[in-house]
Amino acid sequence: MNQRQMEIICVGNELLIGKTLNTNAHWMARRATSLGINVKRITVVGDNVDEIANAIREALQREPRFIITTGGLGPTFDDKTLEGIAKALNSKLEVNEKALEMVREKYEAFAKAGRIEKVELTSPRVKMAKLPKDAEPLPNPVGTAPGAIKRVNETFLIALPGVPSEMEAIFEKSVAPLLRKEGGENLFFEASIYADDIMESVLAPLIDRIMHDNPYAYIKSHPKGEEGKPHIEIHFSTTAKDAKTAKDRLGKAIIQLSELIEKNGGKIKPKKTK
Amino acid sequence: MNQRQMEIICVGNELLIGKTLNTNAHWMARRATSLGINVKRITVVGDNVDEIANAIREALQREPRFIITTGGLGPTFDDKTLEGIAKALNSKLEVNEKALEMVREKYEAFAKAGRIEKVELTSPRVKMAKLPKDAEPLPNPVGTAPGAIKRVNETFLIALPGVPSEMEAIFEKSVAPLLRKEGGENLFFEASIYADDIMESVLAPLIDRIMHDNPYAYIKSHPKGEEGKPHIEIHFSTTAKDAKTAKDRLGKAIIQLSELIEKNGGKIKPKKTK
């Protein structure tokens, strides 16, 4: 099992046809990284049981500590993530009593608020409570469909909804504590500087040199300008136990690289310029 | 080989730490879909030769017609996509003379414009011309690093840069014509309506019924509102040979579903409401 590693699997045709920008993967990757987790892969598949099952099986084989899916938990015919997970595990979906209770409570609240006349657990509603065998539901503070978690060997396999507010709420309530525990004292820190008037091909060997002298700082250049006017973001990151260690490391690398860049004709800007 | 199928592989630690929102995958998925291509999977991996090679090998095994990578073609140490592709193919990188000529021309233009003193093909610059054996370079109209294309059995394996303007320019110039030819008469059409005051669990069986009656229309609901105030985007799409066929199909499904929704207490809004 690969400690601190995580994979994200996003389910939804809307991502594959380019209708929806994948802000969920971005949000979750950023949040998990900040908790000391190492996101190794993000996979996007469509609303298809076999595609979902294949992606889950492949991820399980790589043995990350966490696999988190988003999307496909709702009441419609094309919400197929839990079926895909069950298939990947050669298991079946069954109505989970705790999950059904969560769904019932939501509709009872809707009835109380006068939004529905009576609480009917119709088939699309019961669907949201059908989980893979031995999975546990995760309460959804802002929506109807619960999330789900199931341990598979050493991996936590977690399913979250695709609606961003629901995904984020379940993540913060039920997933972040697990990630924080796994991340332990490994915290992620980052900083950027911006360099003008230096080409990336000139910058490349300078970064090599500074990374060689600063093995704990990872430095990556991101060209932002146009061909006629180089403008490069240089991103520094490190994983450390505390902010002071991280600041010392990144500060040293930033000062050394800035000096080298200026010696080579570049100009350092601490802030992004338009 | 799976006709009209495509996979996108995005390379870059910045995507896995949640620093950068993956607009490249979104743009390319949308553009490919509009040309009649069926994007089956998007994979994001870090700047690591083995991770890249594994993602390429896995995609090749699924035999899509196109595999397109973005990112990792530049001059820095962590631009590793071509090395990953070579490894996946049990091949090596070698300096491609045509690619070297493209790179040289860029620096000659920079020298002419007074941005560099003389044209030196330093090692970071030559790096951008090292392609997997038998790959062809794709000219980069707006940046320095060329793209690359290589046929592997029935699959076109294509590598594009990660800078959005460069990726899009090479895509439009060299990739879109291939995709259009493959897409043939399969064009993608879509439309959305918005429904208020109907819950997704009530909408679900209505969509089922309309999709049963309209087998060529794909209908997916996207909840946008909050728990207290349901507001759902309903997205209709179809693949057709011409706009008239598509309009007829989607128009019929939209009218039928709108009627059903209003019968069930929902309100149809043709436009997005805030």
Are residues A17 and B30, on separate chains, in Cβ contact within 8 Å? yes
Q: Averaged over B101-119, what is the pLDDT? A: 90
B1 has a pLDDT exceeding 70: yes
Are residues A33 and B16, on separate chains, in Cβ contact within 8 Å? yes
B220 has a pLDDT exceeding 50: yes
Question: What does the pLDDT read at residue B193?
Answer: 96
Are residues A75 and B204, on separate chains, in Cβ contact within 8 Å? yes
Domain count, chain A: 2
pTM: 0.94
Structure tokens at B85: 């592709």
Band of pLDDT at residue B125, cut at 50, 70 and 90 = very high
A187 has a pLDDT exceeding 80: yes
Are residues B21 and A21, on separate chains, in Cβ contact within 8 Å? yes
Are residues A21 and B16, on separate chains, in Cβ contact within 8 Å? no
B162 occurs within a structural domain: yes
Mutation site, B8, B13, B40, B44, interface A, largest A CB count within 10 A: B44
Q: Which amino acid is at A23?
A: T
Across A84-230, where does the E strand assignment appear? 93-95, 130-132, 136-138, 147-152, 155-160, 187-196, 218-223
Structure tokens at A192: 């950027």
- Are A10 and A136 found together in one domain? yes
Asked which of A132, A157, A183 is the last residue of a domain, the reply is: A183
By C-alpha distance, which of B66, B165, B29 is closest to A14?
Answer: B29
Are residues B201 and A75, on separate chains, in Cβ contact within 8 Å? yes
Question: What does the pLDDT read at residue A115?
Answer: 81
Q: Which residues of B touch A42 (CB under 8 A)?
A: 15-16, 22, 42-44
Q: Averaged over B82-105, what is the pLDDT? A: 97
- Are B8 and B20 found together in one domain? yes
* Range(s) of the domain holding residue A219: 187-269
Asked which of A165, A183, A201 is the last residue of a domain, the reply is: A183
DSSP bridge pairs for B102: none
Q: Which residues of A touch B21 (CB under 8 A)?
A: 21-23, 26
B143 has a pLDDT exceeding 60: yes
- Are A168 and A215 found together in one domain? no
Structure tokens at A37: 């987790």
Query: Per residue, what are the HEC states of chain B?
Result: CEEEEEEEEEECHHHHCCCCCCHHHHHHHHHHHHCCCEEEEEEEECCCHHHHHHHHHHHHHCCEEEEEEECCCCCCCCCCHHHHHHHHCCCCEEECHHHHHHHHHHHHHHHHCCCCCCCCCCHHHHHCCEEECCCEEECCCCCCCCEEEEEECCEEEEEECCCHHHHHHHHHHHHHHHHHHHHCCCEEEEEEEEEECCCHHHHHHHHHHHHHHCCCCEEEEEECCECCECEEEEEEEEEECCHHHHHHHHHHHHHHHHHHHHHCCCEEECCCCC
Euclidean distance between CA atoms B213 and B211, whole angstroms: 5
- Are A160 and A33 found together in one domain? yes
- Are A74 and A105 found together in one domain? yes
A78 has a pLDDT exceeding 90: yes
Between A and B, how many residue pairs show a Cβ–Cβ distance under 8 A?
195
B101 to chain A, closest Cα gap in Å = 16
* CATH label of the domain that carries residue B80: 3.40.980.10
Q: Which residues of A touch B14 (CB under 8 A)?
A: 220, 222, 235
Packing angle, helices A49-61 and A81-88, rounded to 10: 50
Question: What does the pLDDT read at residue B155?
Answer: 98
- Are B131 and B19 found together in one domain? yes
Are residues A33 and B43, on separate chains, in Cβ contact within 8 Å? no
Where is average pLDDT lowest: A51-60, B97-106, B207-216, B228-237? B228-237
Question: What does the pLDDT read at residue A267?
Answer: 95
B19 occurs within a structural domain: yes
Question: What does the pLDDT read at residue A73?
Answer: 97
A274 occurs within a structural domain: no
Compare CB distances from B223 to A13, A42, A163 and report the shortest one's residue. A163
Band of pLDDT at residue B114, cut at 50, 70 and 90 = confident
Residue of B nearest to A125 (CA): B201
- Are A200 and A217 found together in one domain? yes
B55 has a pLDDT exceeding 90: yes
- Are A28 and A89 found together in one domain? yes
B176 has a pLDDT exceeding 70: yes
Are residues A190 and B17, on separate chains, in Cβ contact within 8 Å? yes
Band of pLDDT at residue A1, cut at 50, 70 and 90 = confident
A6 occurs within a structural domain: yes
Residue of A nearest to B19 (CA): A30
Sign, CA dihedral B239-A47-A164-B51, equals negative
Question: What does the pLDDT read at residue B271?
Answer: 67
B78 occurs within a structural domain: yes
- Kindly report the backbone phi and psi dihedral angles of residue A133, in degrees, each rounded to the nearest multiple of 5, phi listed first: -50, 135
In Å, what is the CA distance from B175 to each residue of A168, B21, B35, B167? 37, 23, 11, 10
* CATH label of the domain that carries residue B198: 3.30.70.1130
Band of pLDDT at residue A274, cut at 50, 70 and 90 = very low
Where is average pLDDT lowest: A132-146, B199-213, B217-231, B247-261? B217-231
Compare CB distances from A75 to B21, B46, B200 and report the shortest one's residue. B200
Compare CB distances from B27 to A17, A18, A26 and report the shortest one's residue. A18
Euclidean distance between CA atoms A65 and A35, whole angstroms: 14
Asked which of B151, B183, B215 is the last residue of a domain, the reply is: B183
Supply the mean pLDDT for chain B: 94
Where is average pLDDT lowest: A5-19, A34-48, A119-133, B259-273? B259-273
A265 has a pLDDT exceeding 70: yes
Mutation site, B15, B27, B76, interface A, largest A CB count within 10 A: B76
Mutation site, B17, B102, B110, interface A, largest A CB count within 10 A: B17
Are residues B18 and A41, on separate chains, in Cβ contact within 8 Å? no
Question: What does the pLDDT read at residue B274?
Answer: 43
- Are B161 and B203 found together in one domain? no
Question: What does the pLDDT read at residue A158?
Answer: 98
Question: What does the pLDDT read at residue B113?
Answer: 86
B149 has a pLDDT exceeding 60: yes
Band of pLDDT at residue A227, cut at 50, 70 and 90 = low
Structure tokens at A39: 């996101």
- The angle formed by the CA atoms of residues A168, A171 and A176, to the nearest 5 degrees, is 130
Are residues A116 and B77, on separate chains, in Cβ contact within 8 Å? no
B118 has a pLDDT exceeding 70: yes
- Are A52 and A120 found together in one domain? yes
Question: What does the pLDDT read at residue A76?
Answer: 94
Question: What does the pLDDT read at residue B117?
Answer: 82
Compare CB distances from B29 to A17, A188, A228 and report the shortest one's residue. A17
Question: What does the pLDDT read at residue B115?
Answer: 80
Structure tokens at B88: 């996946």
Q: Averaged over A232-244, what is the pLDDT? A: 94
Are residues B29 and A45, on separate chains, in Cβ contact within 8 Å? no
Mutation site, B103, B140, B201, B233, interface A, largest A CB count within 10 A: B201
A127 has a pLDDT exceeding 70: yes
A98 occurs within a structural domain: yes
Are residues A221 and B76, on separate chains, in Cβ contact within 8 Å? yes
- Are B254 and B201 found together in one domain? yes
Burial (Cβ within 10 Å: 0-12, 13-18, ≥19) of residue A166: buried
- Are A46 and A118 found together in one domain? yes
Q: Which residues of A touch B78 (CB under 8 A)?
A: 220
Residue of A nearest to B7 (CA): A16
B167 occurs within a structural domain: yes
Residues in chain B: 274
What is the ipTM, given to two decimal places? 0.94
Are residues B33 and A16, on separate chains, in Cβ contact within 8 Å? yes
B274 occurs within a structural domain: no
Supply the mean pLDDT for chain A: 94
